[in-house]
């Protein structure tokens, strides 16, 4: 039997175990997906132990996506983003990947939203913001990063501008209406809206030409998505990003396409 898992703290309410185990059952794999909750001090030993015990792969979630960087050999994308959410133990040394960026890109593709040549706005400059910004920077013509702490938005926009072909800019949350006026794509990658009826984006800045992805998935129908739908925008909930980061992790581990429909059904049954 192969063992996969999730490392984070806390992870007890994670939706990844049912999503991945539904995939294993669907394709007939003898595998389990379990959760591990080490402290930060225990993280390095936990990864060495997992490798030594023959764990095949791990997902990594908050607060460890950056800590894991020094414990694995990162692929190019994870190194550029500066965060690892998937570790593959199948090679000579553990390799770190970032599938959150693919989660963003594939969520838009699933909804027939073309990113090529578009103008995008990412709100947030934490871990999810960095993944979304690199995903969109690689596809779009222009990327604006908006954040409460403007210095972090500037730093992220500069990082993406240096490493992709997109032109980039940054702004405060107060300047979002101007940034969104000509935008085609918007991602909320802040924690605003998580378990609360609040949006980081003023409702009158939203318009019908926008496709809006909210990384927040609890609730699924956030205030931002309600406002976006009322404005006539295309809306994509955070479970699509969660689904596709898991699908991409499956594909890293098994080098084969994942049973997306089954994983989506298992995920949404829990939400």
Tokens describing residue 18:
């049912």
Give the three-state DSSP class for 5: strand
Task: Assess 260 for contact with ligand NAP (CB under 6 A).
Answer: no
Task: Assess 146 for contact with ligand NAP (CB under 6 A).
Answer: no
Task: Assess 152 for contact with ligand NAP (CB under 6 A).
Answer: yes
- Which residues, 6+ apart, have CB-to-CB distance to 14 below 8 Å? 6, 8, 35, 61
Task: Assess 16 for contact with ligand NAP (CB under 6 A).
Answer: no
Task: Assess 127 for contact with ligand NAP (CB under 6 A).
Answer: yes
Is 65 known to be catalytic? yes
* Neighbouring C-beta atoms of residue 42, cutoff 10 Å: 14
Residues 56-85 that bind ligand NAP (CB under 6 A): 62
**Residue from 8, 161, 200, 259 that binds ligand NAP (CB under 6 A)?**
200
- Measure the CA–CA gap between 54 and 51, rounded to whole angstroms: 5
The minimum distance between CB 147 and ligand NAP, in angstroms, equals 5
- Measure the CA–CA gap between 119 and 180, rounded to whole angstroms: 9
**Helices 16-27 and 260-270: crossing angle, nearest 10°?**
150
CA 195, 201, 202, 206 torsion-angle sign = negative
**Residue from 103, 161, 219, 259 that binds ligand NAP (CB under 6 A)?**
103
**Residue from 43, 102, 115, 216 that binds ligand NAP (CB under 6 A)?**
216
Task: Assess 245 for contact with ligand NAP (CB under 6 A).
Answer: yes
Cite the active site residues: 65
Interface positions with ligand NAP (CB under 6 A): 62, 100, 103, 124-129, 147-149, 152, 189-192, 194, 200, 215-217, 238, 241-242, 245
């Amino acid at each position: 039997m192969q063992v996969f898992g999730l490392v984070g703290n806390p992870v007890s309410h994670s939706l990844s175990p049912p999503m991945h185990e539904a995939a294993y059952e669907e394709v007939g794999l003898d595998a389990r997906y379990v959760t591990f909750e080490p402290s930060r001090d225990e993280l390095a030993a936990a990864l060495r132990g997992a490798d030594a015990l023959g764990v095949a792969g791990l997902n990594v979630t908050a607060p460890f996506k950056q800590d894991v960087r020094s414990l694995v050999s990162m692929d190019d994308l994870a190194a550029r983003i500066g965060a690892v959410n998937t570790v593959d133990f199948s090679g000579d040394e553990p390799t770190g990947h970032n599938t959150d960026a693919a989660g963003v890109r594939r969520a838009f593709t699933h909804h027939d939203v073309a990113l090529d040549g578009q103008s995008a706005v990412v709100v947030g400059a934490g871990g999810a913001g960095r993944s979304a910004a690199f995903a969109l920077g690689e596809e779009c013509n222009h990327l604006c990063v908006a954040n409460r702490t403007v210095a972090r938005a500037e730093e992220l926009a500069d990082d993406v501008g240096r490493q992709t072909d997109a032109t980039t800019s940054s702004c405060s949350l107060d300047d979002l209406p101007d940034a969104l006026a000509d935008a085609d794509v918007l991602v909320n990658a802040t924690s605003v809206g998580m378990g609360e009826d609040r949006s980081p984006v003023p409702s009158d800045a939203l318009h019908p030409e926008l496709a809006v992805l909210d990384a927040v998935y609890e609730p699924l129908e956030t205030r931002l998505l309600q406002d976006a739908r009322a404005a006539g925008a295309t809306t994509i909930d955070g479970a699509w990003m969660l689904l596709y980061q898991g699908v991409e992790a499956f594909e890293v581990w098994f080098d084969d396409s994942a049973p997306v429909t089954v994983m989506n059904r298992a995920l949404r049954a829990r939400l």
